[in-house]
């Protein structure tokens, strides 16, 4: 019996998130179903983190214990043979028996894609958010999130009463044609935090809020006094379809 780490790529459109749910299609459920075809007897795989319904991944990490008498390439091929076309195992490695993909992670990196166009585009909107009116200067907002801050105004902790302080080490907007891509990395993220950050940045660029308002909420957290008058930030989330979990990093994990 050995512990394996796998890296997953999936189109989240037809999944009800990554975490197993009874009688609903999830990433975890599909991986566990495939493993059972390989005589896996475990109860649950471990995931690096949860992704929402409709959110995609190119670098989700998971681990499990398995008796497997063949090589890593053979395990990758065997798993992919039992997985549907919208999910794939892109890497397999052996790890220490106490490795945990969530608790051992030192950072996560996500990308969010949007494009500016007045008419809907059914092909692009599977993996991006169509925004109109256009947002010409998202890059002017990117540095506001860098550093360690209380993000309680922009998300909720995974556990009730958990910390809402996070350290963001990368925050970049890049443009290509009519598209904008937000690249953000942090030690961890609050529930729906990135979709919230994208939404409020678009609101600022469309004149529905201000960068000063975002900065004030970032400095003071979820302060009820800020929810009145001109300091209130717009409510809402960017659609899950534009979000991709790109990478989970482990400082002590050797390739």
CATH code of the domain containing 17:
3.30.70.580
| Domain span including residue 91 | 2-95
In angstroms, the Cα distances linking 152 to 102, 164, 169, 174, 222 are 21, 5, 18, 26, 5
Residues 78 and 43 in one domain: yes
pLDDT tens by residue, the chain, 255 residues: 999 999 999 999 999 999 999 889 999 999 999 999 999 999 999 999 999 999 999 999 999 999 999 999 999 999 999 999 999 999 999 999 999 999 999 999 999 999 999 999 999 999 999 999 999 889 988 889 999 999 999 999 988 889 999 999 999 999 999 999 999 999 999 999 999 999 999 999 999 999 998 988 888 776 655 554 556 788 999 999 999 999 999 987 655
Which one of 95, 127, 155 terminates a domain?
95
Q: Is 251 a catalytic residue?
A: no
Which one of 70, 95, 120 terminates a domain?
95
Task: Check residue 222 and give its pLDDT.
Answer: 66
Task: Check residue 228 and give its pLDDT.
Answer: 47
Residues 140 and 180 in one domain: yes
Which one of 44, 71, 95 terminates a domain?
95
Residue 44: Cβ-neighbour burial (10 angstroms; 0-12, 13-18, 19+): exposed
Q: Could you tell me which residues come within 8 angstroms of residue 62 by beta carbon, excluding any fewer than 6 positions away?
A: 5, 6, 8, 28, 31, 45, 46, 47, 48, 101
Counted domains in the chain? 2
Task: Check residue 83 and give its pLDDT.
Answer: 98
In a domain? residue 103: no
Active-site choice (11, 14, 52, 65)? 52
Task: Check residue 158 and give its pLDDT.
Answer: 83
Task: Check residue 50 and give its pLDDT.
Answer: 92
In a domain? residue 179: yes
């Amino acid at each position: 019996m050995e512990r394996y780490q796998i890296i997953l790529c999936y189109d989240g459109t037809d999944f009800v998130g990554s975490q197993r749910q009874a009688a609903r299609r999830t990433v975890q459920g599909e991986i566990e179903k495939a493993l059972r075809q390989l005589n896996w007897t475990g109860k649950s795989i471990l995931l690096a983190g949860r992704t929402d319904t409709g959110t995609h991944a190119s670098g989700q990490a998971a681990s499990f214990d398995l008796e497997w008498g063949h090589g890593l390439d053979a395990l990758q091929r065997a798993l992919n043979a039992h997985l549907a076309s919208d999910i794939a195992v892109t890497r397999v490695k052996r790890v220490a028996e106490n490795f945990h993909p969530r608790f051992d992670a030192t950072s996560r990196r996500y990308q969010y894609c949007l494009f500016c166009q007045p008419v809907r585009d059914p092909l692009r909107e599977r993996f991006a958010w169509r925004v109109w009116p256009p947002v010409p200067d998202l890059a002017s907002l990117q540095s506001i999130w860098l550093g360690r801050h209380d993000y309680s105004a922009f998300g909720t902790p995974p556990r009730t009463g958990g910390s809402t302080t996070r350290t963001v080490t990368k925050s970049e907007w890049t443009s290509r044609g009519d598209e904008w891509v937000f690249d953000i990395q942090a030690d961890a993220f609050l529930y729906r935090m990135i979709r919230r950050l994208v939404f409020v940045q678009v609101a600022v660029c469309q004149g529905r809020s201000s960068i000063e308002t975002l900065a004030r909420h970032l400095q003071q957290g979820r302060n009820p006094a800020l929810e009145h008058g001109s300091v209130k930030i717009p409510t809402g989330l960017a659609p899950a379809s534009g979000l991709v979990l790109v990478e989970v990093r482990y400082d002590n994990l050797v390739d």
